[in-house]
Each structure stands twice: as C-alpha cells, then as structure tokens.
Amino acid sequence: MTIFATTILGIWALLSLLSLLLPMAGNEIALESMFVAPMHEGYVLGSDELGRSLALRLVDGAGISLLVAVVSVGISTLLGTALGILAGFYGGWVDRIVSRLIEVFLAFPGLLLAIAMAGMLGPGIENVVIALSLMGWVGFARLARNQVLSLKQREHVLAAVALGQTNLNVMRLHLLPLLMAPLLVEASFGVASAVIAEAGLSFLGLGVQPPQASWGSMIREGVRYLLVAPHLVLVPGLALSLVVLSANLLGDALRDRLDVTSHSKR
C-alpha cells in the first residue's frame, strides 16, 4: 500500500508541475464539444458543459490543491510547533495562554471554523490558505506541547540547561530534532485534511473562483449535470479520493516506520 500511496502522490505532484507549464489551458471553451464522453473526439476524460477539457482542468485543479495543501500545512507546522514548544518548555502563564487558545479552537469543528473564516475573509485562494492555516495549527501545537513536556525531563536536555546553554539553543538543538518524527506524521495527515478542506470550500463557493479550476468547484459544476454527464463529478471526485486516501496511507506508513506510538490522528 505504501508503493500505491507514493505513486498516487507522485502523479499528483507531476500533474501540479504540468499545471505550471500549461497556464489556463483548461479554460479554453469549445461549445461545439459540450458533454463529450471520456475517450471520444480526442478528449481523454471528456469535456464539461462549456466544452472544456476535463483532463486539462483536472491538471489545473491538481496544482491548486497541492499549492494550498503545502502552503497551509507549512504555515500551520511553523506556527503550531513554535507555540507548542514555548508552552511545553516554559510552562506557567505561557502554557496556560496557549492551552486556553488551543481549547477555544478545538471547541469548533475544524471544517466549520474554516468555512466561517473563509466567509469573513471572502473567496479566493489566498484567503483559503489563511483559513486553513488558522484551522490547522492547533494539532501541531498540541502535539509539540505534549512531547516537550516529556522530553524536557530527559538527561541530555537537563545537562544542556545545567551547562548554561540558552533556552533558545536548548529548544532548537535538543528538543526540536526529537519532535521531527511525530511532526512529519502529523503533517502527512494535515495534507490530506487540507486537500479535502480546500475542495469543500471551493464546492461551497468560498474557495477558488471561476474560471480557475479546482477539484471542489469541478464537482459543484458537475452536480447539475449528474444524470446526463456523470463523468463531470466522477473524474474530480475519484482524483480527490485517491489523493486523500494516499496521503492518509502514507501517514500511517510513516507512523509505523518511525514508531510514533504517542501520535493520535485527531
């Protein structure tokens, strides 16, 4: 299953690179070729209600989903890890403030919180990244805090403190490297969550705006023609399912390989 997951994610990354080489290629309208079935008239995956190539739009959507996932998870990782390490290392009022902040964000369902933030910020890919980043940092902060509370009692950390190393060096050189394995696992699950959240926001009209392609918006546009052209929903839906499944499978494999026994998916 690891090979399967790696292959699917590799194809996803390759399609995303192709989207940079084929800008706006999926937006070419050909009204004479509306609702062409897959593998007909030169359309590998068929065409939509405007005669646009579904294959090219799928490639464009892959680039959007990868961009949103990588940037939002990257921001969430940096922000959450920094806050979690500070809370776990210093304790006291710092820990209380960060813990209360985590509890406030955990009081709301993640996707519902992202929808509310995207609604306040307005539609657009930049606002989607901001909304998902503000939603995703909590898991990294909680994981980093819990790990640091245990790791800071280890002999090598206590020895570094006793030898007069600064708190910054202790956190950077002696705690952060030990957090990399569980954070990597958390990030792999975060990518899956970000991909499906971006698709959900775009499906609701709060994400990527037309004519830019997104797997979520492609599904939304195809629902109206589900009975006459089911491939409009099946193609992006299958692509979305495969990417999310592969990211989760890779996360499970990484967790088993790195023996992150204390990690919890959610």
Q: How confident is the model at residue 2 (pLDDT cuts 50, 70, 90)?
A: confident
Bigger pLDDT: 149 or 118? 149
Is 2-24+37-258 CATH 1.10.3720.10? Answer: yes
Mean pLDDT estimate for the chain: 87
pTM of this structure: 0.87
Bigger pLDDT: 243 or 164? 243
Q: How confident is the model at residue 265 (pLDDT cuts 50, 70, 90)?
A: very low
**DSSP assignments along 172-225, one per residue:** IIIIHHHHHHHHHHHHHHHHHHHHHHHHHHHHTTSSSPTTS--HHHHHHHHHTT
List b or e across 35-74, with b for residues whose CB sees 16 or more CB atoms inside 10 angstroms: ebeeeeeebebbbbeebbbbbbbbbbbbbbbbbbbbbbbe
pLDDT higher than 70, residue 48: yes
Q: How confident is the model at residue 263 (pLDDT cuts 50, 70, 90)?
A: very low
pLDDT of res. 264: 43
What is the mean predicted confidence (pLDDT) over 11-37? 82
pLDDT higher than 90, residue 246: yes
What are the sequence ranges of the domains in the chain? 2-24+37-258
What is the mean predicted confidence (pLDDT) over 64-81? 93
Bigger pLDDT: 223 or 40? 223
